[in-house]
Amino acid sequence: MSGEEPERLTQPLKGKCLCGAVSITLHSAEKEVDICHCDMCARWGGAFYAGLVGESVEVSGEDSITAYQSSEWAERAFCSKCGSNLWFRFKPTGNRSFLAGLFDVPEGFGIKHQIFVDEKPDWYDIAQESPMKTGPEIIAEAKAAGFEFD
């Protein structure tokens, strides 16, 4: 972790699923994308996960959202009508990150970090330079922060 405050957008970031049943407004979004290369994210979305976080969020279309408990500590939500993935929630903190692809992201976004790089398949690499961490490094950081994992 760099410890630096990330740059944030001043304008709300508007997003929606493929069919439009779910819309999301993310306030004070960080101008950085979180990338996860883990096996679960790949199985969920077809390849790596790219997420955005903000300081607050409004979600509409709750009737069309299914939240799947993918593990004891995580929930992954999708639109029940069109299947678009929507967010990943880390249950111990309640923090959510939202799929970057749902939003019309302006230019100038960077990558905060790439995690679970040890689980990344060989057939792609991300060109933009960014800090990289393995799964064991991420789990050690979470444990140091007081989270319990089996």
Q: Which is nearer to Zn ion, 7 or 66 (CB)?
A: 66
Interaction between residue 140 and Zn ion (CB under 5 A): no
Interaction between residue 79 and Zn ion (CB under 5 A): yes
Give the span between the Cα atoms of 145 and 48, in whole angstroms.
25
Interaction between residue 24 and Zn ion (CB under 5 A): no
Query: According to CB under 5 A, which one of 8, 12, 19, 135 is a site residue for Zn ion?
Result: 19
DSSP 3-state assignment of 31?
A: coil
- Please give the helix or strand (H or E) that residue 112 lies within, else none: strand 110-115
Nearest residue to 17 (alpha-carbon basis) of 64, 49, 54: 64
**Of the listed pieces 14-22, 23-31, 98-106, 136-144, which binds Zn ion according to CB under 5 A?**
14-22
Give residues with Cβ within 8 angstroms of 74, minimum separation 6: 88, 89, 90, 91
Interaction between residue 38 and Zn ion (CB under 5 A): yes
Binding site for Zn ion (CB under 5 A): 17, 19, 21, 36, 38, 41, 79, 81-82
